[in-house]
Amino acid sequence: MPRTARPSPRPRPGARPAVALTAGLAALLLAGCTAGSGTDGGGKGFAGALPGRDRPAATPTPTPTPTPTGPYVALGDSYTAGLKIAPQTGEPRGCSRSSVNYPSLVAKELGLGPGQFRDVSCSGAVTGDLTGPQRTDGGVNPAQLDALTSATRLVTLGIGGNDAGFADVLTECAKENLVDAVKGLIGDGRSDSPCRDHYVSGGTDRIRGKVDAAGDRLGQALQEIRRRSPQARVYVVGYPALLPADPAGCAPVLGRGLAGADLGFLTEEEQQLNGMLRKRAEAAGAVFVDAAAPSAGHDMCAGEAARWIEPPFPAPGLAPVHPNAKGQQAMAAAVLKAVRG
């Protein structure tokens, strides 16, 4: 999600046991009631006791929505691409796509071969890079929507964090807290939430303004996806939880460098981002995939064995404040759960 050089659960079968059981019982009862051996006490079968138009109709068995097959196109930023997760694959190299990112895992689980799957996600991407080329340190990534065709049947899209400037926000929050700490040392007074004070003034939240603007661009991009691939099922993938519900849980990982109130502020801003993604997805007739709920307890402040998001000082070879391999696996599970209904 941050614009660095740099981003929902077990699949369930399509059939619904409770619905299938109810429909089966209804069919069984109807078969028993309409059998010729049944009587109503007057020697007639039950079916003959009612006019034809009044006979109870059989309850139709719902037809499960089939799981989409390929072609599948994956769009998005570094949270989709799998920044720094080995092995890296694809061109341009500057996009830092992993062959075990969630799109690749979804494609593998759905049994899609190379000709049925294209991953054009790219680290650092913003919504404008969906419709225009993106320059990276390792070459130019073409406009991501150019990968779509009328034959495309499945699309996943994870983007928006870079539009909101979350990388800059995290850096600025750290700086504001440091400045505030210095003020406290010289007796100039301290703030309970210096980062919030910096971004919110006069009732105006500058981060939310950027999120809203990103939402407008995302809405337009979703319309364009529908125009180019009218038969595709589209899934907008949200961001996993970066921080725990209780900011105190971050002290062992982040120390006391960020005020607890500011950690809460950052959580609120991420929730605002995911809320925007959900709203835009639903307005466009797409499906929103919630990655935050299943990632609770697996944020950057969780222990090394439990976390799905790396902290600012990550494990060797991984990207700070980005999903690790376990995080990508969890996001793939959330997408598959949504795709399979």
- Say what the pLDDT of residue 182 is: 66
Structure tokens of 299? 């944020």
Task: Give 55-86 pLDDT, tens digit per residue.
Answer: 555 556 555 667 877 899 999 999 999 999 99
- 322 catalytic per annotation: yes
- Of 335 and 11, which is predicted with more confidence? 335
Which range, 12-16, 55-59, 337-341, is most confident?
337-341
Proportion of the chain above pLDDT 70, given as a percent: 77
Task: Give the mean pLDDT of 278-291.
Answer: 98
Contacts for 183 with CB less than 8 Å, ≥ 6 apart: 189, 190
Least-confidence region, from 22-26, 131-135, 152-156, 169-173: 22-26
* 8 has a pLDDT exceeding 60: no
Task: Give the C-alpha separation, 145 to 202, whole Å.
Answer: 39
The pTM (predicted TM-score) of the whole model is: 0.78
Instruction: Spot the catalytic one: 78, 104, 191, 229.
Output: 78
- Of 64 and 48, which is predicted with more confidence? 64
Task: Give 302-334 pLDDT, tens digit per residue.
Answer: 999 999 999 988 999 999 999 999 999 999 999
SS (H, E, C) the chain: CCCCCCCCCCCCCCCCHHHHHHHHHHHHHHHHHHCCCCCCCCCCCHHHHCCHHHCCCCCCCCCCCCCCCCCEEEEECHHHHCCCCCCEECCCHHHCEECCCHHHHHHHHCCCCHHHEEECCCCCCCHHHHCCCEEECCEEECCHHHHCCCCCCEEEEECCCCCCCHHHHHHHHHHHHHHHHHHHHCCCCCCCCHHHHHHEECCEEHHHHHHHHHHHHHHHHHHHHHHHCCCCEEEEECCCCCCCCCHHHHHHHHCCCCCHHHHHHHHHHHHHHHHHHHHHHHHCCCEEECCCCCCCCCCCCCCCCCCCECCCCCCCCCCCCCECHHHHHHHHHHHHHHHHC
